[in-house]
């Protein structure tokens, strides 16, 4: 899990989630985190943290994300793409499950 820059304490809270792929470099990871932070800023969210799913420990970050998303006041979870849910099952079904379980919207940072 990676901490992201916080901005604007009165903005709606968001968390990020991404899954590292087998050959992902630290530069690519940093770029993906930067895209999530930029999307949050443009859409008016305060990105509190980005959960990074490691290949060796999955689904630990997803489970931690579910726990964190259950807290009051969280507005959204941001993903670089729906493919980051793909390893857990069909992305649309995982999104629906996550939203129903936590009451938190899942948004793709395009």
Q: 69 and 15 in contact (C-beta within 8 Å)?
A: yes
Residue 43: CATH number of its domain: 3.40.50.1390
pLDDT tens track, the chain, 110 positions: 544 444 567 899 999 999 999 999 999 999 999 999 999 999 999 999 999 999 999 899 999 999 999 877 899 999 999 999 998 899 999 999 999 999 999 999 98
Tally of domains within the chain: 1
How far apart are alpha carbons 28 and 77 in whole angstroms?
Answer: 20
Q: Given this model, what pLDDT does residue 10 score?
A: 87
> For residues 6 and 46, is the Cβ–Cβ distance under 8 A?
yes
What is the pTM assigned to this prediction? 0.88
* The token pair that represents 108 in the structure block: 């793709």
Q: Which of 11, 14, 6, 35 is nearest to 106 (CA)?
A: 14
Q: What is the pLDDT of residue 1?
A: 52
H or E element, residue 43? helix 26-43
Per the structure, the complete domain to which residue 13 belongs is given by 2-108
Q: What is the dihedral of CA 81, 86, 51, 75, to 10 degrees?
A: 60
Q: What pairing do the DSSP bridges indicate for beta strands 13-19 and 105-108?
A: unpaired
Beta strand residue intervals within 32-73, DSSP E: 46-53
pLDDT at 4: 44
């Amino acid at each position: 899990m990676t901490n992201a820059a916080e901005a604007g304490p009165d903005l709606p809270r968001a968390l990020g989630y991404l899954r590292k792929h087998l050959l992902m470099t630290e530069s690519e990871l940093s770029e993906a985190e930067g895209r999530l932070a930029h999307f949050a800023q443009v859409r008016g969210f305060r990105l509190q943290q980005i959960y990074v799913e490691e290949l060796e420990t999955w689904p630990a970050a997803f489970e931690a994300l579910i726990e964190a998303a259950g807290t009051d006041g969280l507005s959204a979870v941001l993903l670089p793409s729906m493919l980051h849910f793909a390893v857990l099952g069909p992305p649309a079904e995982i999104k629906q499950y996550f939203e129903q379980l936590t009451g938190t919207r899942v948004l793709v940072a395009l």
